[in-house]
Amino acid sequence: MKAARAAWRRLEPVHAMIYFAPEARRRYADLGLSGRAGYFTSRSAAFGRAPAELIISTFYNFNPGFVRKAVDGAWDAATPQQVLDARYTAAGEALRRAGIDELPALDEVLALTRRAAEAACELPQGRPLFAAHAALPWPDEPVLQLWHAQTLLREFRGDGHVACLLSEGVGGLESLILHAATGEVPVDFLKASRAWPEEEWADTEERLRERGLLDGDSLSPEGVRLRQRIEDRTDHLALPAYAALGDPDCERLAELASTFGRAVVDAGLLKVG
């Protein structure tokens, strides 16, 4: 499980950069999708004309009112296929700018990642956002095949994570506050990107203190145990994909993935703004 988690984390920048890369913002703006409309429509376009309630349910930790406002009229501006095409075009542009297409281990990393992703595709039940992406055709270009494979693995893991949060009675805003309390992500970023009202954030913090999960603004010992339990269970639910590689190939992917993640970071593709 340790190697599987390392493989996912080290290669995750190859997928995650699509939420920050200026190439994506430009492509969505060309379709008339400004602000957060591009994010919500591009990630949900695999569903087709996804209503706001479906996006709210699968994205989980965003303020529902924020989502509804962002997607209002979005599908009148662009079709889901247009948005998907823009997303893949932007992903290719950004990853080529990072030099991913020139890395000598691309073929090997792609082969390993695609094997894991295809194994995940045998298990779509209970993972709606993943299943929608799994139904999309594989791109022809190797660098886009890698991006698609890592996207599948990310959504496979993400749907499992939502299931873990639900099973532990942790709502969307509660999960954000617990995440912020770890200090791993700046609280101001989480507040700005998820757009929950300050009063609702403060009220939820107080409820988490009453549950014994927060000590001030930090996790309490019980909060630490809860977070670890959720992360461990999320790792376990993601294992069927990486189990298809076996331990040696999973360790090999974890070893090679660092270069790819670092190339994305060094190219500035994860910078906010």
**What's the CA gap between 194 and 95, in Å, rounded?**
26
Contacts of 41 (CB under 8 A, 6+ apart): 28, 33, 50, 71, 74, 75, 78, 80, 83
Helices in the chain by DSSP H: which ranges?
Answer: 2-16, 22-30, 37-44, 52-59, 64-71, 74-77, 80-97, 106-120, 128-134, 142-167, 172-182, 187-194, 198-210, 221-243, 246-266
Residue 137 is predicted with a pLDDT of 97
* Predicted TM-score (pTM) of this structure: 0.95
Q: What is the mean pLDDT of each run of 10 residues along the chain (273 residues)?
A: 89 97 96 94 97 96 95 96 98 98 98 98 97 98 98 98 96 96 91 94 96 95 97 96 94 96 96 75
Residue 273 is predicted with a pLDDT of 64
**Short-list 32, 7, 20, 189, CA closest to 97:** 20
Residue 21 is predicted with a pLDDT of 96
Q: Which residues of 223-240 are buried (b: 16+ CB within 10 A; e: fewer)?
A: bbebbeebeebbbebbeb
